[in-house]
A and B are shown apart, each in its own frame.
Chain A
Amino acid sequence: MNGSNNKIALFAGLSSFLAVFENFIPIPVPFLRIGISNIPVSLGFVLFNFKELLFIVLFKTIFSHLFRGTLFSYVFLIALSGNLLFIFITFPFYQIFKKRISFISLGLIGAVSHNLGQIFASLIFLPAKSALLIGYFIISIGLIFGFANGYICNIVYRKFFTRALYGQVV
């Protein structure tokens, strides 16, 4: 296993741990997640290529649902759709605008794409169209959490990565 594989394993593990951990954070609305598991994924954009990021996202999704006991349910399919749309939209966005953006833009685009993927999947997999009724609410809250996660990523990136990318830490 080379150094790059170690980093992928580290980020996939950290992201999966945070995905399981955020289930224990009390939120007034049951289906909402604050998305802290996306912090390592967002930080991974500066380190990994598309395939490696896709592996981290898939590993995180499968691992967290394995722990929740929802691996073979429509909940998993909805989460998987959100994560796939997230990676397929955010990666090209990062490639195009990486010289002009910070992680805040990445967090916002990530949150919106994630939520849109989940809403589309809900419309396909659930019989009632109730996802549309709460769509505005989910996307509005998603923007707030996306902004907050992006801000945290900026701090982590400033404190550790800028030094580490040119030094020894990562």
Chain B
Amino acid sequence: MKSNATLFDLFLTGALVICVVSLFFLKLFFGKNGSTILIQTSKDKFAYSIDQKIVADISGDLGLTKIEIDNGKFRFLESPCKNKNCVNSGWIRSANFPVVCLPNRVSAYIMKEGDKDASLYDGVTR
């Protein structure tokens, strides 16, 4: 065993750093996030394919929320709520990152591939 850094050490350090950085960028640019967007209201639950370009009209407690889905991303286009926090959230591309409109009681998120709805939570109390 050597007591000073060797060429092998430097090579291994470089190789591991390149591996981690490459995996990160591969995941960032080519990773498939999910294929389904789940929209929930106080009364109903809707699932849409994320790989399409549509505007979904969702009826909430206050009125109609328009959610735009555009090939892998979605946003709240219009909402009858006062503060428009949901609309200001902008485009969402990441899975398991929900946008919630509390006044109109509408929420939406992209489901991760293979995940079931309940698997997002550690536990549920009733």
A residues contacting B by CB (< 8 A) are 45-46, 97-98, 100-105, 108-109, 112, 127-129, 136, 139-140, 143, 147, 150-151, 154, 157-158, 161-162
A127 x B122 contact (CB < 8 A): yes
List chain B residues, Cβ under 8 A from A128: 119-122
List chain B residues, Cβ under 8 A from A109: 12
A102 x B6 contact (CB < 8 A): yes
Complex alpha-carbon distance, A157 and B8, angstroms: 18
A100 x B20 contact (CB < 8 A): no
Interface residue SS majority, chain A: helix
Complex alpha-carbon distance, A97 and B9, angstroms: 11
> Known: A136-B20, A136-B27. Contact between A104 and B9, CB under 8 A?
yes
A127 x B119 contact (CB < 8 A): yes
B83 at the interface (CB under 8 A from A): no
List chain B residues, Cβ under 8 A from A100: 2, 6, 8
The interface centre, meaning the residue of B20, B112, B121 with most chain A CB atoms within 10 A of its CB, is B20
Complex alpha-carbon distance, A45 and B2, angstroms: 13
Complex alpha-carbon distance, A97 and B3, angstroms: 14
Range, interface on chain B:
20 to 34
Residue of B nearest to A111 (CB): B16
B117 at the interface (CB under 8 A from A): no
The one of B2, B27, B115 in contact with A129, judged by C-beta atoms closer than 8 angstroms, is B115
List chain B residues, Cβ under 8 A from A45: 1
B23 at the interface (CB under 8 A from A): yes
B24 at the interface (CB under 8 A from A): yes
B3 x A105 contact (CB < 8 A): no
B23 x A143 contact (CB < 8 A): no
B1 x A158 contact (CB < 8 A): no
